[in-house]
């Protein structure tokens, strides 16, 4: 083995971290973000409920802990999200949802705790809702916008394996949303059509 090979291996040395599947805590954690009701003001449907919540305490809806494993030849990253149980108005807590801008930036989501749905939607409006429980793993290409909705009574924790430089595009979701929202009716989740997609095929 040459010295050149050794130094290249050292540059891309394996990295191990710990992930608590119940709390979503990772160690080490390079970056943590908290998303509150105000951060999701363009995502939830009930504007009166959003205003009330923001004026009251603008509570946390979910948090994300990130660790990019950046090496000279890889931009793979881990992101662990923890979505609190609850609703804004009657709509279940959810992530904002986004597309990736790089066409080869696929992603894998692993559900670790809690129950809910992964919503997937293509730019031309193909839509899929995948029921989620601990142990569910879903791979999707950059062609699919992705949002996770917590419809259960507990925290929903999931790990994302993705490309750090994959690019995040929230604009189409802000503009038109997903084709369906998940709302609480008599204590249970119900899918309702998003009016901004009415008439679309």
Interacting residues toward ligand PAN by CB under 6 A: 35, 64, 79, 81, 95-98, 107, 146, 160, 162
By beta carbon distance, the residue nearest ligand PAN is 79
**Smallest distance from Zn ion to CB 79, Å:** 8
Beta-carbon neighbour count of residue 67 at 10 Å?
A: 20
What's the burial of 36, exposed, middle or buried (CB within 10 Å: 0-12/13-18/19+)? middle
Beta-carbon neighbour count of residue 40 at 10 Å?
A: 20
**Smallest distance from ligand PAN to CB 201, Å:** 26
Partner residues linked to 65 by β-bridges = 32, 80
CA 123 to chain centre: 17
Binding-site partner at residue 93 among ligand PAN, Zn ion, none, CB < 5 to 8 Å by type: none
Q: Give the nearer residue to ligand PAN in terms of CB position, either 132 or 162.
A: 162
196, 181, 144, 190: which is closest to 166 by C-alpha?
144
Q: Give the nearer residue to ligand PAN in terms of CB position, either 107 or 155.
A: 107
Q: How many residues bind Zn ion (CB under 5 A)?
A: 1
| Measured CA angle at 53 (ends 198, 31), to 5 deg | 90
Residue 67 near residue 77, CB atoms below 8 Å: yes
The residue range among 88-96, 102-110, 114-122, 133-141 that interacts with Zn ion, by the rule CB under 5 A, is: 102-110
Q: Give the nearer residue to ligand PAN in terms of CB position, either 35 or 110.
A: 35
In whole angstroms, give the CA distance from residue 189 to residue 116: 9
Q: Give the nearer residue to Zn ion in terms of CB position, either 107 or 155.
A: 107
Binding-site partner at residue 121 among ligand PAN, Zn ion, none, CB < 5 to 8 Å by type: none
Q: Give the nearer residue to ligand PAN in terms of CB position, either 149 or 183.
A: 149
Q: Residues interacting with Zn ion, by CB under 5 A? A: 107
């Amino acid at each position: 083995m040459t010295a050149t090979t050794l130094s290249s291996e050292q540059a891309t040395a394996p990295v191990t971290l710990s992930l608590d599947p119940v709390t979503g805590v990772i160690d080490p954690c390079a970056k943590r973000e908290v998303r509150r009701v105000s951060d999701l003001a363009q995502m939830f449907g009930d504007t009166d409920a959003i205003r009330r919540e923001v004026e009251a305490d603008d509570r946390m809806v979910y948090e994300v802990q990130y660790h990019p494993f950046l090496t000279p030849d890889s931009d793979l990253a881990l992101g662990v999200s923890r979505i609190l149980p609850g609703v804004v108005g009657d709509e279940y807590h959810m992530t904002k949802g986004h597309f990736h801008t790089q066409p080869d930036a696929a992603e894998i989501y692993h559900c670790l705790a809690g129950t809910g749905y992964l919503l997937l939607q293509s730019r031309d409006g193909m839509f899929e809702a995948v029921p989620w429980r601990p142990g569910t793993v879903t791979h999707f290409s950059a062609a699919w916008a992705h949002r996770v909705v917590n419809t259960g009574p507990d925290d929903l924790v999931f790990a994302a394996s993705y490309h750090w430089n994959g690019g995040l595009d929230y604009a189409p979701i802000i503009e038109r949303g997903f084709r369906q929202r998940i709302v609480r009716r008599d204590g249970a989740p119900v899918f309702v059509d998003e009016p901004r997609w009415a008439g679309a095929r």
